[in-house]
Amino acid sequence: MLYFAQVADSEGRAGMQTEEPRRRTARRPPDRKARIVAAASGLFRARGYHNVSLADVAAEVGITAPALYRHFRGKPDLLLHVVDSTVAVVAASVAAAPDLDSYLRAAASQAQDRRGAAVLWQREARHLPEDRRKEQRRALSAVAEGIGELIHADRPELDHAEIQLLAWAALSVFASISWHRTSLPRRRFEELLHRLAHAATHCPLGTGPAAGAEPAPGGYAALAMSRREEILVEAIRLFDERGFQSVSTDDIGEAAGATGPSIYKHFPTKTDLLVAAVVRGGEQRRAGTAQALSLPGAPRETVERLLRSYIDFVLSQRHLIGLLVGELDQLPEKERRGARQAQREYLALWVRLLDEVRPGLDPAEARITVIATLTVIDNAARTGTSGDHPNLAERLSEIGMAMLLT
Q: What is the pLDDT of residue 201?
A: 98
**Long-range CB contact pairs, 31-38, < 8 A, 24+:** 32/61, 32/63, 32/71, 33/71, 35/61, 36/61, 36/63, 36/68, 36/71, 36/72, 36/78, 37/78, 37/81, 37/82, 37/85
Residue 300's closest CA among 351, 245, 356? 356
pLDDT of 124 higher than 70: yes
For residue range 128-155, list pLDDT tens digits in order: 988 998 999 999 999 999 999 999 999 9
Q: What is the pLDDT of residue 7?
A: 32
Give the CA dihedral 137, 140, 141, 143, nearest 10 degrees: 170
**Average pLDDT, integer, range 45-70:** 94
Cα distance between residue 41 and residue 82, in whole Å: 6
Radius of gyration for the alpha carbons in the chain, expressed in angstroms and rounded: 25
**Average pLDDT, integer, range 305-319:** 95
Collapsing DSSP to helix, strand or coil, 29 comes out as coil
DSSP 223: S
DSSP string, 279-293: HHHHHHHHHHHHHHH
Is there a contact between 177 and 84 (Cβ–Cβ < 8 Å)? no
Instruction: Give the torsion sign (CA, 86, 92, 93, 99).
Output: positive
**Average pLDDT, integer, range 345-359:** 97
**Average pLDDT, integer, range 27-48:** 88
For residue range 272-306, list pLDDT tens digits in order: 999 999 999 999 999 999 999 999 999 999 999 99
Between 298 and 26, name the one with better pLDDT: 298
Between 327 and 213, name the one with better pLDDT: 327
**3-state secondary structure string across 294-334:** HCCCCHHHHHHHHHHHHHHHHHHCHHHHHHHHHCHHHCCHH
**Average pLDDT, integer, range 2-9:** 32
Collapsing DSSP to helix, strand or coil, 42 comes out as helix
Q: What is the pLDDT of residue 21?
A: 44
Q: What is the pLDDT of residue 20?
A: 43
Q: What is the pLDDT of residue 263?
A: 87
Q: What is the pLDDT of residue 326?
A: 85
User: For the purposes of burial, counting CB atoms within 10 Å of the CB of 296, is it exposed (0-12), middle (13-18) or buried (19 or more)?
Assistant: exposed
Q: List the beta strands (DSSP E) in 145-293.
A: none
Q: What is the pLDDT of residue 309?
A: 97
Alpha carbon 199 to chain centroid, angstroms? 21
pTM, to two decimals: 0.85
Give me the phi and psi of 101, to 5 degrees please: -65, -35
H helix runs in 176-226, sequence order: 186-201
Give percent of the chain with pLDDT exceeding 90: 75
Q: What is the pLDDT of residue 260?
A: 66
Q: What is the pLDDT of residue 384?
A: 56
Q: Who contacts 187 (Cβ-Cβ below 8 Å, separation ≥6)?
A: none
Average pLDDT in the chain: 87
User: For the purposes of burial, counting CB atoms within 10 Å of the CB of 30, is it exposed (0-12), middle (13-18) or buried (19 or more)?
Assistant: exposed
Beta bridge partners of 7: 23
Instruction: Give the torsion sign (CA, 311, 316, 320, 322).
Output: positive
Beta strands 23-25; 5-7: pairing state: antiparallel
Cα distance between residue 105 and residue 115, in whole Å: 16
Give me the phi and psi of 23, to 5 degrees please: -105, 140
Q: What is the pLDDT of residue 258?
A: 81
**Average pLDDT, integer, range 89-94:** 96
Q: What is the pLDDT of residue 382?
A: 83
Cα distance between residue 336 and residue 211, in whole Å: 37
Collapsing DSSP to helix, strand or coil, 6 comes out as strand
How confident is residue 28, by pLDDT bands cut at 50, 70 and 90?
Answer: low
For residue range 369-402, list pLDDT tens digits in order: 999 999 999 999 887 555 557 789 999 999 999 9
Q: Lowest-confidence range among 14-28, 65-79, 246-260, 317-331? A: 14-28
For residue range 168-203, list pLDDT tens digits in order: 999 999 999 998 999 999 999 999 999 999 999 999
